[in-house]
Amino acid sequence: CVSKFSSMALLVFSSIGNHSRSRITGLLLCLFYLVLAGGLTVSSSAASSSSSSSSSSPFDVVWDVAYPNLGKDVTKRIVIRVHPEWAPLGAARFRELAEKNFYKGTRFFRVVPNFVAQIGIHGNPDVSKQWRDNKIQDDPAVPNISNKRGTVTFAKSGENTRTTQLFINFSDNGNLDSMGFPPFGEVVEGMDAVDAINQEYGESPQQGMIQEQGSRYLKTKFPKLTYVKTTSISTSLTSTSEESSPASGKDEDDL
C-alpha cells in the first residue's frame, strides 16, 4: 500500500510545475498519515476483539481428586467447565487461581450432605494470607442461571467478599440465587467423584484454624478429607484428557 502511494506521488510531482509542489507535498503527507493511522486502528481493534473473545470463551479446569478414606491410591477426576458469561468476575478469578495452581493440595473442609462441598483455603498459611483480602466485586445474577446440582459457585461472607473459597452444589439449591451466589461453572464430568467426597467430618473443621495452620491442622485432626491432588486447564471442550495442560506451580503431592 505504501509502495503504491509513493509511485502515485512521483507521477503527480512529474506532471506539475514547481509553484504547486510545496502545497501538494503537504496534502500528500496528510493523506499518508491518514492511511497509516487507519491501518493502526484496524490492527488495534482486531487485537482487542481477539483478546475479548478469548476471555469470554468457556474453558475447562480438570481436578484429579484423592480420597484417603477410600484407599491410599484412590483418585477420581472432576472436570469443571467455566462459563465467563455466567459470572465474568468469578470466572476470571477462578482462572487466575487455576493458573497459579492454587487448589492443588487443598481439601474439601466443609461437606454438607444434600447441600454443598466447600473448598478453597490453601494448605500454606502464608499463601492463604496473601489472598484473604484480595476480594472481588459481586457479579449480577443472570436469568435462568441457577445453583443447580453440579454447578460451581464462589462462597462469600457478605457483599463483594469473594476470594478463593468455592463450593459444588450436591443438589438444586435455587434459594442461593437471590442471596448473591451466581454460579460461574458446572461439573461436566465426574459428578460421581463429587458425590464420593468424604462427608464424615461435616462442618467440623474450623476455618480459623485452617487459615492459621493450614494442611498441618487438617491432616492431624481430619486425615481422611478428600483433596485435590493435581490440576490442569484445558481450552478444548471436547477432549479434556488429551489437550489439557498442567497449571504452573509446585509439583508436590500435597501441602
Per residue, the 3-state secondary structure of 120-163, as one string, reads CCCCCHHHHHHHHCCCECCCCCCCCCCCCCCEEEECCCCCCCEC
Q: 160-190: string of b/e by CB count within 10 Å (b at 16+)?
A: ebbbbbbbbbbeebeebbeebbbbbbbbeeb
Please write the tens of the pLDDT for every residue from 41-73. Answer: 434 444 444 444 457 899 999 999 999 999 999
Q: Which cell is 15 given?
A: 506532471
Helices and strands (H, E) in the chain, number of each type: 8, 9
For residues 46 and 183, give the distance between their C-alpha atoms in angstroms, rounded to a whole number: 31
pLDDT over 90, % of the chain: 70
Q: Which pLDDT belongs to residue 26?
A: 55
Q: What is the mean pLDDT of residues 136-146?
A: 97
- Tell me if 60 sits within 8 A of 82, measured CB to CB: yes
For residues 170 and 152, give the distance between their C-alpha atoms in angstroms, rounded to a whole number: 10
Is this model's pTM higher than 0.85 or not? no
Confidence band for 20, pLDDT divided at 50, 70 and 90: low
Confidence band for 251, pLDDT divided at 50, 70 and 90: very low
Maximum CA pair distance of the chain? 95
More confident position, 151 or 236: 151
- Tell me if 152 sits within 8 A of 185, measured CB to CB: yes
Please write the tens of the pLDDT for every residue from 182-226. Answer: 999 999 999 999 999 999 999 999 999 999 999 999 999 999 999
Please write the tens of the pLDDT for every residue from 74-115. Answer: 999 999 999 999 999 999 999 999 999 999 999 999 999 999
Radius of gyration of the chain (CA): 27
Which residue matches cell numbers 468455592? Answer: 166
- Closest listed residue to residue 222, CA positions, set 232, 213, 234: 213
